[in-house]
Structure 1
């Protein structure tokens, strides 16, 4: 983390919790602000940022990622994913273009490995990929009056979901969760954070994650790498997969799953009265001798209560799903904000 920015975090009572996650007032107070629709500001230290530049960048990324990056013209963002040859996701991203450069936001715990893997395939292409989250502050802003407050502070404010707007102060991206992502230059990060946090609750990593869980937006992290084909995590439902763009790693598996086979697993939202972590396995009495799914993302919503995004066998979902064993706590289904296809 940038030294000046680290000082700002410390001066604003930011610290690491027992899980190593950034918190401020304490998770439960932060969560009340998020769920209550109050203005909130969050340094998104759980994410990293890759930048790809060079005259072959579009053709290179187009051949590696699942979305159609030709749609990025500087005014739009999109979700995307990166899979192995077997179609299993190694990472997923929020992608956008600024000038001639392409940016990929992904979970920080896998960023270096993904950077290394993508770089292996550059070969003779005129592309340079580097990690640049040290050059920018990734921050989240949301809540009542968020758009008006951003405009008051001089930011360009996007007017529709996935729209990108920018000026000398930085980029602002409107996201499906009803939040704004701010990409701010490092040299002005501390001053910008001070202005944005005025009148807002400072929230840490986990509380901010409640927005994406409520929106059904899953993030691949280290415990869930190479566990899911893109559609299992509903990636095509949030615009992260193009079935018309041509080849990319795992494309044949992704296409076959879409057009020829019945998708056996899907991303669901649930609650549970127990502690859970990404990568925890799930069981169902409908298939008692094997695991039927995995926890993807979690947020604690009350003492002993969590909300989850989970990938689960569709047939088992109706029969009941249990954490870690059939004797474990049962998940309670919650709704997603988008419909699942009838043909799953």
Structure 2
């Protein structure tokens, strides 16, 4: 850990945070919660941040990722995928432009390998990649009243999902609502978040990192993790439906396969939202259809406990399996998945 990481995690510990022993960056809570508070602040310590600078940074990233980087303006953020030559996702990013370059936010656990792979393809381009996550941590804020609170630091709040505001207090990105709650990600230097924290928690209840991931699941936003790298073409996890793929931007690794999946034939696999009466659900776990119990029909993309003795999950599967029979976790005789409507429509 760097000095900045230690300072932020030590501050959170002094503020009542508990941590996962196996994943020391994971804030497991600030005490028991009976459910999702109406206003919540969650340290997103499970996320890493890659900074890209240099004259060729925009062009380099544009040629590597599934979304348009060259035309990304200062008032917007975008999702983007990084694919293998076979079109399978190695990472999913939240991406934005800063005054000095670009930022790519992704799970901390896969950042070193992803950053190393990107670095291999810079070659003679005038671009540099750096790990910026320790010096620029992120808070997730959700709730009916957090916008009014944030106006102290960001007089002009981003009004719509994927809009961004910058101030001396850092970067604030509006992300899609979940459970009817407006949501924001605030990325800033450690000292600024440390100073703001006491005021934030007078209104917002501090909560575990996992609660924010649960809200992402309910918003239908997938995150590629170690367990699911190279498992999905972007459309399998609805990435083009939530703005993560630009089909007009030109070549990137796997682009031909991604385009072929989009334009040739009907997509037979999609990501859906489900609940399951089990706490065993986890990313990478297979699911099985009662109509074809001998082979898996899909895979859990993300899963988190839901305060109801079970888990909410995003599951990628054959659309036919969701329409016929029942779908089970782990085996044909496992717990049944109860499918729910996503907050955005799937194509007919």
Task: Name the TM-score class by shorter chain.
Answer: over 0.9
Structure 1 unpaired stretches of 5+: none
Q: Give, in whole Å, the separation in 2 of the partners of 1:27 and 1:333.
A: 28
SS at match of 1:302: coil
Tell me the equivalent position of 2:117. 117
Q: Give, in whole Å, the separation in 1 of the partners of 2:285 and 2:81.
A: 22
Q: Give, in whole Å, the separation in 1 of the partners of 2:274 and 2:109.
A: 24
SS at match of 1:48: strand
Structure 2 unpaired stretches of 5+: none
The more displaced of 327-336 and 204-213 is: 204-213
Flag the 1:157–1:277 CA change in 2: closer, same or farther, 3 A: same
SS at match of 1:282: strand
Instruction: Note the C-alpha offset of 1:19.
Output: 6.4
SS at match of 2:148: helix
Q: Give, in whole Å, the separation in 1 of the partners of 2:118 and 2:147.
A: 36
Tell me the equivalent position of 2:184. 180
Q: TM-score if structure 2 supplies the norm length?
A: 0.93
CA shift digits 1:182-222 (9 cap, x unpaired): 01112323112223222210011111112111110000000
Indicate yes or no: 2:216 matched with 1:212.
yes
Tell me the equivalent position of 1:225. 229
Indicate yes or no: 2:247 matched with 1:243.
yes
Alignment of 1:151-170 (within 5 A): 151-153=151-153, 156-170=156-170
CA shift digits 1:205-257 (9 cap, x unpaired): 11111211111000000000000000000000010001100000110000000
Tell me the equivalent position of 1:191. 195
Tell me the equivalent position of 2:17. 14
Q: Give, in whole Å, the separation in 2 of the partners of 1:258 and 1:321.
A: 26
CA shift digits 1:51-109 (9 cap, x unpaired): 10100111111110001113311110010100001000000010000124010011111
SS at match of 1:291: strand
SS at match of 1:109: coil
Indicate yes or no: 2:65 matched with 1:60.
no
Which structure has more helix as a fraction of its residues?
1
* Partner of residue 307 from structure 2, selected from 297, 302, 308: 302
Indicate yes or no: 2:117 matched with 1:95.
no
Tell me the equivalent position of 2:291. 286
Q: Give, in whole Å, the separation in 1 of the partners of 2:322 and 2:213.
A: 24
Flag the 1:291–1:265 CA change in 2: closer, same or farther, 3 A: same
Flag the 1:27–1:308 CA change in 2: closer, same or farther, 3 A: farther
Tell me the equivalent position of 1:148. 148
Q: Give, in whole Å, the separation in 1 of the partners of 2:244 and 2:89.
A: 12
SS at match of 2:129: strand
Aligned length: 337
User: Given that residues 154 and 165 in structure 2 are in contact (C-alpha distance below 8 angstroms), is that contact kept between their aligned partners in structure 1?
Assistant: no
Tell me the equivalent position of 1:333. 339
User: Given that residues 40 and 142 in structure 1 are in contact (C-alpha distance below 8 angstroms), is that contact kept between their aligned partners in structure 2?
Assistant: yes
User: Given that residues 4 and 190 in structure 1 are in contact (C-alpha distance below 8 angstroms), is that contact kept between their aligned partners in structure 2?
Assistant: no
RMSD: 1.5
User: Given that residues 156 and 172 in structure 1 are in contact (C-alpha distance below 8 angstroms), is that contact kept between their aligned partners in structure 2?
Assistant: no
Tell me the equivalent position of 1:253. 257
Q: Give, in whole Å, the separation in 1 of the partners of 2:247 and 2:154.
A: 39
